[in-house]
Chain A
Amino acid sequence: MSDEFDASSPDADLFEEVVGVRRAPRAAPSETSEGAQELGTRSATPLEELRREEGAVLRIPEGAVVDVGDVDVERPTDETMIINMGPQHPSTHGVLRLMLELDGETVLRTKPVIGYLHTGMEKTAEELTYVQGATNVTRMDYLSPLNNELVFSLATEALLGIDVPTRATWIRMLFSELQRISSHLMWMATNGMDLGSTSMMIYGFREREMILALFEKTTGLRMNHDYIRPGGVAADLPDGWEDDVEIICDTVLRRTYEYDELLTGQPIFRERMVGVGSITADEAIALSVTGPILRSTGVSWDLRRSMPYLEYGQLDFDVIVGTYGDNFDRYAIRLNEIRESIKLVRQIAQRVPPGDYRAQDRKVTPPPRARIDESMEALIHHFKIFTEGFRVPEGEVYVAIESPRGEIGCYLVSDGTSKPYRLHIRGPSFVNLQAVPTLMRGGLIADAVAIISSVDPVMGEVDR
């Protein structure tokens, strides 16, 4: 599409015919900069942005203004080099593109350029009913799909005002924790691969596969389950799930100690992790960072503990915090969170109560399959729920839970129909990526891969 798009041109007519709406003429270019999303050269970058990148973040809470003299705007541009990393780089965990300004091997500025995986999922959600909505949001953070479904379901239930049976709540917690283990195992695997430890890559995937096998047994799918739905969960736990959970807990826990031997004390690994990519607690809070990155700075903030949801208030677990905010702390936090989640899974498995696995509310949950054969009303209800969906009272709600990557939030607005008026997912990866320039600043280009890995971005959630 050319820059001078004219709303009266034949192109506009064609667009209207194909797309169904008349494309609005562009806003005047002087109002905003819609130009390059890329990192500009130093001379072309406004001072405010340089200030931000040069560490202004820290000083804002203190109310102090950055000393302009500290900002090296006079550096000749031919001494530095701007290079692209990604979006096709194998270690950027998807289609993340970083633009780095280098002085020799030192990284001066970093700018994440995102949007390569944008598929308009929030727009799609406005076209899907609440019944279909979970299948949409589950594809955002594809490494912890059950947490996406959980936050969407909690938001819908808050607007509906329905109660979920106790068993469903405990099943949700069980699967949320198993998902956390599998997501962290996946992170251990890819982080190992980024640092050259291919054995860790194989091990991480091997253990994760055990958990995915249980998910497949329960939900029918390894990923993108659509298992946690408004009103409860889609199916009851399969026979013998206790044994599967016990085997997973025993095996994974034993193997975390093998990872200790393989990585934690290994000099090459430590050399690349300790002291690399540091961030302070003030910076992390100011940049809205959550999850393991925030905890690595020593801030004990875990929504399961700080603002308990589901039944987490009844369980005994530790919030793992670091001290230095570096790569190694984030590694140690994730490794130990696997152990804490195993502890949680064991407690939950003993306490899953009998009962219904979804709310017995005919307006929200479909009738049991057996009832459809004998009752006309059940058939009608079934049909209505899966074609029209259920109506949700007007209102808006913001629900936040702790995903493996941090706070995943769902802002849901209902206008009283059976489709969300607006669904917004606050993706932890999207926000955490803003910390990358701070983490990278002053480091070596060779550490860039380790730092990206330690942020653990999932691009499906970043771009949505």
Chain B
Amino acid sequence: MTGSPPAPAADDVAGGAADGVAGGAADDVAGGVAGGAADDVAGGVAASSPSSFLPEVPRASGTWTDEVAFPPRSRYHELVESYKASGFEQLSDLTAVDYLTHPGRNLPPGASPERFEVVVNLLSLSLRRRARVRVQVPEDDPVLHTLWDLYPGVEAMEREVFDLFGVRFSGHPDLTRILMPEDWEGHPLRKDYGVGRVPVQFKEAPGPR
């Protein structure tokens, strides 16, 4: 974080839900991990990128994360590769979100929403920066190129995303279920997967009144 100026505070794009509580989220982040914007997706505010040679993809700045990139699926692997080449040595986290019931989320211009979104958090130990890559994955063809060839530590995380969301990673060496049993049906973290309920005895019985 040394020397990187904080991103300019963006307009409150989240609407009126935050009456009177906006601003100042980064105050307790001594050393300036993040810019001052409370909203994470700040409508295409260009972050101060250390790497101007990254492929041109829609970007935003964020809280606790220096920049968020929204590559199309075809350029996802290429983008992560260029991040790695520009000093992001470690992949902190890979997860996914199923936006089935919340399709109208805030994306910068140029990124078209799809049902699934795979979220990759990259960390640069040398630059002390974090970057996030959010890639849209359509429902009818939930396949993404694996990152295992770049970051071997992604192996278990991609297996977890496959297990719980059903997003497949082509080129992954061992794409099996990791948390659920092998013969489990369905992918539990999808929004159309019911949480189920425990049958309650005498539920239909008349109450005391």
Q: Does chain A have a CB within 8 A of B192?
A: yes
Q: Does any Cβ of B come within 8 Å of A220's Cβ?
A: no
Question: Which one of B25, B91, B95 contacts A411 once the chains associate, using CB atoms below 8 Å?
Answer: B95
Within 8 A of A (CB), among B78-99: 89-93, 95, 97-98
Which of chain B's residues 153-184 have a Cβ closer than 8 Å to chain A? 153-157, 160, 162, 164, 166, 168, 173-183
Interface residues on B, range: 35 or more
Additional pairs, 8, CB under 8 Å, beyond known A159-B40, A396-B40? A20-B194, A36-B176, A114-B179, A160-B25, A306-B125, A421-B102, A426-B121, A463-B179
Asked if A313 is an interface residue, CB under 8 A from chain B, the answer is yes
Q: Are the CB atoms of B155 and A314 closer together than 8 Å?
A: no
Q: How many Å lie between the Cα of A392 and that of B194 in the bound state?
A: 24
Q: Is the CB of B30 within 8 A of A287?
A: no
A123, B189: Cβ atoms closer than 8 Å? yes
B-chain residues with CB within 8 Å of residue A306 when the two chains form the complex: 125, 128
> With A and B bound together, what is the CA distance between A159 and B168 in angstroms?
30
When the two chains form the complex, which single residue of B1, B93, B151 contacts A409, counting CB atoms closer than 8 Å? B93
Answer whether A35 and B176 are a contact pair too, CB < 8 Å, given A20-B194, A398-B64: yes
Question: Residue among B30, B157, B189 with the most chain A CB within 10 A?
Answer: B30
A379 at the interface (CB under 8 A from B): no
Instruction: Assess whether B8 is interfacial by the CB under 8 Å rule.
Output: no
- Inter-chain CA distance A415–B101, complex, in Å, is 9
A464 neighbours in B (Cβ, 8 Å): 179
Contact A398 B132 (CB under 8 A): yes
On A, residues with C-beta under 8 Å from B are 1, 3, 5, 18-21, 23-24, 26-27, 31-37, 46, 48-49, 52, 56-57, 60, 114-115, 118, 120, 122-123, 127, 157-164, 169, 285-289, 299, 301, 306-314, 361, 363-364, 391-400, 407, 409, 411, 413, 415-416, 421-422, 424, 426, 430-431, 433-434, 463-464
Please give the residue numbers on chain B whose beta carbons come within 8 Å of chain A beta carbons, in ascending order: 1, 14-15, 17-25, 27-31, 33, 38-41, 62-65, 89-93, 95, 97-98, 101-102, 105-106, 119, 121, 125, 128, 130, 132, 149-157, 160, 162, 164, 166, 168, 173-183, 185-186, 188-189, 192-197, 199
- B132 to A363, Cβ gap below 8 A? no
Once the chains bind, are A31 and B156 in contact (CB under 8 Å)?
A: no
**In the bound complex, do residue B154 and residue A288 qualify as a contact, i.e. CB atoms below 8 Å apart?**
yes
Cβ–Cβ contact B196 & A19, under 8 A: yes
